[in-house]
Chain A
Amino acid sequence: MSDAWRKFLTNRFAFAGTVVIALIVIGGLGAPLLAPYDPHEQFFDGLTLEGAPLPPNEKFWFGTDLLGRDLLSRLLYGARTSLVIGVVANGAAVTIGTVLGLVAGYVRGWPGAAIMRFTDLMMAFPALLLAIALAAIFSPSLWIVALVIALVNWVQIARVIYTQTTSLATREYIEATRALGANWPRLLFVHVLPHLVPTILVWSTLGIATTVLLEATLSFLGIGVRPPTPSWGGIIFESQSYFLDAPWLVFFPGIAVLLMALSFNLVGDALRDSLDPTQRGR
Chain B
Amino acid sequence: MRFATHSIRRNEDDEHKMLRFLLNRFVQASFTLLGVTAITFTLAFLVPADPVRMIAGRNATPATVENIRHQLGLDRPLLQQYAGYLTRLAQGDLGRSYMQRTEVSTLIASRLPWTLLLMAGAIFFELLIGLTAGIWAATRRGHISDRAVMVASFVGVSAPQFLVGLLLLYVFAYLLNLFPLGGGTSFSHLILPALTLGITGGGWYSRVMRSSMIDVLRQDYIRTARAKGLKERKVVLVHGLRNAILPIVAMIGLDIGIFMSGAVVVESVYGWPGIGQLAWQAIQVIDIPIIMGVTLTAAVAIVLGNLLADLATPFIDPRVRL
Contacts and interface: CB of A to CB of B under 8 A. Distances in A.
A and B touching (Cβ–Cβ under 8 A) = yes
Interface of A: 13, 113, 116-117, 119-121, 123-126, 128-130, 132-133, 135-137, 156, 159-160, 162-164, 166-167, 170-171, 195, 198-199, 201-202, 205-206, 209-210, 213, 236-237, 240-241, 243-244, 250, 254, 257-258, 261-262, 265, 278, 282
B183 to A, nearest CB: 18
A260 to B, nearest CB: 9
A237 B160 contact: yes
A243 to B, nearest CB: 6
A257 B159 CA distance: 9
A250 B164 CA distance: 12
A139 to B, nearest CB: 12
Contact of A159 (B36, B142, B253): B253
Scoring A137, A198, A205 by chain B CB atoms within 10 A of each residue's CB, the highest score goes to A198
How many B residues touch the partner, as a band?
35 or more
B214 A126 contact: no
Interface stretch (B43-51, B95-103, B111-119, B190-198): B43-51
Interface string B203-217: 110011001101100
B108 to A, nearest CB: 14
Contact of B40 (A125, A162, A167): A125
A117 B32 contact: yes
A136 B159 CA distance: 30
Contacts of B224: none
Contacts of B317: 167, 170
B249 interface: yes
A210 B162 contact: no
B154 A209 contact: yes
A265 B157 CA distance: 13
22 contacts: A119-B306, A124-B32, A124-B302, A125-B39, A125-B43, A126-B43, A126-B294, A129-B291, A136-B46, A159-B253, A159-B254, A163-B313, A195-B215, A209-B157, A237-B160, A243-B167, A254-B163, A258-B155, A261-B157, A261-B158, A265-B154, A282-B142
